[in-house]
Structure 1
Amino acid sequence: MKSSVPRSLERICVCVPTYNEVGNLEMIVERIRAAVPQADVLVLDDNSPDGTGALADRLAATDPQVRVLHRAGKEGLGPAYLAGFRWAGERGYDAVVEIDADGSHQPEQLPSLLAAAEAGADVVIGSRWVPGGSVHNWPVHRRVLSVGANTYARIALGIPVHDATAGYRVYRLSALQQMDTDQVASQGYCFQVDLTLRALERGLRVVEVPVAFVEREVGTSKMDDAIVREAAVRVGVWALERRSRQLRERLGGLGRSGRWHHLEETP
């Protein structure tokens, strides 16, 4: 089912996954609440040993729009967000937001992403690599890795998304319900590519909105070699599956054109 008209977002859940983010959590929650006071904040803590979960509980005790979902242990970014999606779906939210706890995704830009969703997008990606997007305080090797990974995904999968690995997003719940998220097994940043591909394959409207990404100042990045390897392997497998499917369709006279016409960029 495809979107055709704008639909209002009355209930918004901002999902904030955390693991050892005690130095960042209070600041990011305050900024989210100031930027989108109508939204609820759901902290998804993976049993952080540094006390992040306890801090989240204290914030929730003083603000009824802050909630906490305590998870048994560190399972990765993908499973944390999937738990948040389920929580929001069970409570009737209209949209969920993905945002990092470290401040690299600036909450002050969230109204622009939500405006794109209000205008009818099913998935809104806060993109670093479209005109108007930018990255600040990143070393050269991180820039090369991100641009290379997104170029690889775009070419291998044949998708027109410039920042498929971006983790700053808005999803309509109605879109997630069409994307078979219960079948998602991706763990790290590959999770973002997985959901992008699922949205496009289902004909959902995907919009990229430029954002300024700022490297964290407190704590350490969760990026590691295992996350990079997972993304490289999974994207390669998906590319082979897609090419094989296309070949079967052509041989069967079922080829389709204009598959990815639901991708847009918002200046």
Structure 2
Amino acid sequence: MIKEFTNQKIDLFKVCVIIPTYNNCKTLARVIDGVLLYTTNIIVVNDGATDATLEILKKYPQIQQIHLSKNKGKGNALRIGLAHAQKHNFKYAITIDSDGQHFSEDIPVFITALEKAENKNILLIGARNMNQESVPKKSSFGNKFSNFWFWVETGIKLKDTQSGYRLYPLEELAKLNFYTSKFEFEIEVIVKAAWNDIIVKNVPVKVLYDETERVSHFRPFKDFTRISILNTWLVMVTFLYIKPRNFFQNLKKKGIKRFFVEDFLGSHDSPTKKALSIALGTFIGLSPFWGFHTVLVFFLAITLKLNKVIAFGFSNLSLPPFIPFIIYASSKIGQFILGTNYSYTIEEISTDFEVFKHLKTYIVGSFSLAIISATLLGVFSYVFFVIFHKKINHNE
């Protein structure tokens, strides 16, 4: 009954199942047979297998097959399978690994989650129990490592970001650009999906690690290096582009007044946390780390568990129109502290001010200005928020 119901929903939502495979002849037939219990909408991507895969697939003429002449990696196979699925008018694709670790009876879990979702622009990842005894320690560690960086890059906390058992929204993915072709593609795709307002969430699935059958093609050194390089790039893009973009999009969408009321005053953070966020943003914005303000403020806000929106907002004290005034004030404070004296105007600072000639003075003054301003604004805002929160609680 469940299988018939799932089959109907699969057709209703135009879902197919993609099985990328490379030298998994021991488990491939079992995986295909399991999926066939729910649907014949199957696309197998043979990624240049050199074992008995081709002979096995000859027994399944009823399913779609793509045979690649050379092995180019799981990411490449998935991208080809996803593009093929969209070309054949499928709206969603469930991907399942051919190594036998996934259970076909979890297909209804994805379909039910899709049916219940109000927003169908959704990407579902099967969350495995990585604490069970059969799961290799290196796999459990790798998953935690991946989960952490996904959170840094998107702000979304997931239990499992490495599972290959997923449901993809094909039309939305077709709008995105991808550059990886190995195992790291499964990280790139979920990060970019989250960046582009696709809902990314976990659904619970079972997992089987049978070392007597399972063949893993993950190369610890090469693939981990690829993943680390990708995460480094994604983190840079996150701090330099995505988070500032989201901030200004939110500001533009809400308007300054509504943004101030909802995200600043209306934040549920404590007065201490808000004040420290303001102090951090002010300090970074006035510090001499030009070109790195955005990276630093988001990194420190995340590390210190402060309000990223508030911290970033106040770091924009160093917007271009204010830069000459900040340099002027920093230099004057630096002169006072170091006991030096030289004269110049605001106009000279913005044109031909010899900043390197007075670099020591500027740096000392800049840090001093940042510390003084951050302290004053932090204390003032703390008092303000304490009074504001008391007033709100009293009215309630």
TM-score with structure 1 setting the length: 0.80
Which structure has the greater CA radius of gyration?
Answer: 2
State the SS of the aligned residue for 1:59: coil
Residues of 1 paired with 2:133 and 2:54: CA distance?
29
Percent identity, please: 20
Q: Deviations over 1:144-173 (max 9, x none)?
A: 222223223323553333322221101122
Work out the CA distance in 2 between the residues paired with 1:226 and 1:235: 14
Map of 2:24 onto structure 1: 21
User: How many residues are aligned here?
Assistant: 239
State the distance in 1 between where 2:162 and 2:152 align.
14
Structure with more of its chain in helix, by fraction: 2
Residue 227 (1) aligns with residue 227 (2): no
- Mark the runs of 5 or more structure 2 residues left unpaired by the alignment: 1-9, 252-262, 264-396
Contact 1:45 1:68 in 2 (8 A): yes
User: 8 Å contact 1:42–1:67 — kept in the other structure?
Assistant: yes
Q: Distance in 1 between matches of 2:242 and 2:137?
A: 37
Kindly provide the amino acid, as one letter, of the partner of residue 124 in structure 1. L
Moved more, 81-90 or 135-144: 135-144
The offset of 1:189, in angstroms, is: 3.1
Instruction: Specify which of 104, 108, 115 is matched with residue 105 of structure 2.
Output: 108
Contact 1:153 1:164 in 2 (8 A): yes
Q: Structure 1 residues 47 and 188, CA, compared in 2 at 3 Å: closer, same or farther?
A: closer
Structure 2 counterpart of 1:69: 66
The 3 A distance-change label for structure 1 pair 197 and 46 is same
Q: Is residue 241 from structure 1 mapped to residue 276 from structure 2 by the alignment? A: no
How far is 1:114 from its partner?
A: 1.5
Among 170, 183, 186, the alignment partner of 1:189 is 183
Task: Report the alpha carbon displacement of residue 93 of structure 1 after superposing the two structures with TM.
Answer: 1.1
Which structure: greater strand fraction? Answer: 1
Alignment of 1:211-222 (within 5 A): 211-216=205-210, 217-222=212-217
1:88-103 correspondence to structure 2 within 5 Å: 88-103=85-100
Q: Give the deviation of 1:188 after TM superposition.
A: 3.0
Q: Deviations over 1:5-54 (max 9, x none)?
A: xx9844321111111111111111111112x2x34111100221112023
Return the alpha-carbon distance in structure 1 between the equivalents of residues 103 and 34 of structure 2: 8
C-alpha displacement at 1:221, in angstroms?
0.8
The aligned residue for residue 33 of structure 1 is: 36
Is 1:84 matched up with 2:78? no
Contact 1:124 1:208 in 2 (8 A): yes
Match of 2:163 in 1: 166
Question: Aligned-pair distance for 1:243?
Answer: 0.4
Would the aligned equivalents of 1:13 and 1:88 in 2 still touch at CA under 8 Å? yes
Judged with a 3 Å threshold, the aligned counterparts in structure 2 of structure 1 residues 229 and 137 are, in CA distance, closer, same or farther, namely same
Corresponding residue SS for 1:17:
strand
CA contact (8 A) 1:134 1:213 kept: no
